Amino acid sequence: RKEVEQDPGPFNVPEGATVAFNCTYSNSASQSFFWYRQDCRKEPKLLMSVYSSGNEDGRFTAQLNRASQYISLLIRDSKLSDSATYLCVVNPRSSNTGKLIFGQGTTLQVKP
Amino acid sequence: DAGVTQSPTHLIKTRGQQVTLRCSPKSGHDTVSWYQQALGQGPQFIFQYYEEEERQRGNFPDRFSGHQFPNYSSELNVNALLLGDSALYLCASSPGLGGPGVRDTQYFGPGTRLTVL
């Protein structure tokens, strides 16, 4: 079983749609959670950190369910510029020490 | 404020050769991590350096080695290259105490794309 699992997609949605991605992780002791965005052939860039019960940033909402060991990302009012791969990331520790464990990524394609 | 920089951007090598990749962390960051990203996959952790020592290592063979310098920059060395080493190699830096950036977050450089023929 992979440590972090995501549906690779692709998710094809029209502009303005709401889309949700889920991710599950296997280590119940994991402490820090993130969503990174990666454009084609570019580096991953932090989209959101997810702490305790989750957080919201504009059109993006991230939720964490520790009991079920899953993290979700909701994107409202999708824009063409949201087209990218979204990486679910887990850090088993609570500090910046140690490795990040990445999921395979979920590809989103927003169509006009 | 310069972000994480990496060199070279692209590299082509043949099987059996050795390669050195370089990374300069974001200003104020003292921890450097290296990741390998194969096509269609998420990045995989290779190792992390802090205070010039390897602090943690992923599941990579000894052919992969690294170094961190007193100015916090870092190198990744890969010996006896295999075709399967072809990937995007990403360097990420993290802030030390009081450094700029979000706590617990790693910031990535643009990567070095290595092709092994």
Percent of chain A clearing pLDDT 70 (strictly above): 96
B31:A97 CB<8 A:
yes
Percent of chain A clearing pLDDT 90 (strictly above): 73
Nearest chain B residue to A104 by CA distance is: B42
| A106: contact with B, CB 8 A cutoff | no
Eight-state DSSP code of residue B103: T
Is-cis flag, bond preceding B95, omega within 30? Answer: no
| A104: contact with B, CB 8 A cutoff | yes
pLDDT at A32 over 60: yes
Nearest to B42 among A32, A96, A104 (CB): A104
Q: Which residue has the higher pLDDT, A94 or B55?
A: B55
pLDDT at A29 over 90: no
Using an 8 Å Cβ cutoff, are B80 and B27 in contact?
Answer: no
pLDDT at B62 over 60: yes
Q: What is the rounded distance in angstroms from the CA atom of residue A69 to the CA atom of residue A76?
A: 23
Q: What is the rounded distance in angstroms from the CA atom of residue B108 to the CA atom of residue B11?
A: 19
Q: Work out the average pLDDT over A38-42.
A: 93
Q: Which residue has the higher pLDDT, A100 or B36?
A: B36
The reported pLDDT for the residue numbered A51 is 75
pLDDT at A43 over 70: yes
The reported pLDDT for the residue numbered A25 is 95
B104:A100 CB<8 A:
no
Using an 8 Å Cβ cutoff, are A109 and B108 in contact?
Answer: no
The reported pLDDT for the residue numbered A95 is 55
The reported pLDDT for the residue numbered B103 is 57
Nearest chain A residue to B42 by CA distance is: A104
**Residue B65: left if φ>0, alpha if ψ -120 to 50, beta else—which one?**
beta
| A48: contact with B, CB 8 A cutoff | no
B44 CB neighbours in chain A (<8 A) are 102
Joined together, the tokens standing for residue B98 give: 């009081």
A32 CB neighbours in chain B (<8 A) are 104
pLDDT at A94 over 60: no
The reported pLDDT for the residue numbered A1 is 78
A97:B56 CB<8 A:
yes
B26-50 pLDDT, tens digit per residue, is: 998 889 999 999 999 999 999 999 8
pLDDT at A97 over 90: no
Using an 8 Å Cβ cutoff, are B27 and B100 in contact?
Answer: yes
pLDDT at A74 over 90: yes
A99 CB neighbours in chain B (<8 A) are 33, 45, 48, 56, 58
Contacts of B3 (CB under 8 A, 6+ apart): B26, B107, B109
**Which of the residue ranges A26-40, A61-75, A88-102 would you say has the lowest mean pLDDT?**
A88-102
**In chain B, which ranges are E strands?**
5-7, 10-13, 19-24, 29-37, 44-50, 53-57, 64-68, 74-78, 87-95, 107-108, 112-116
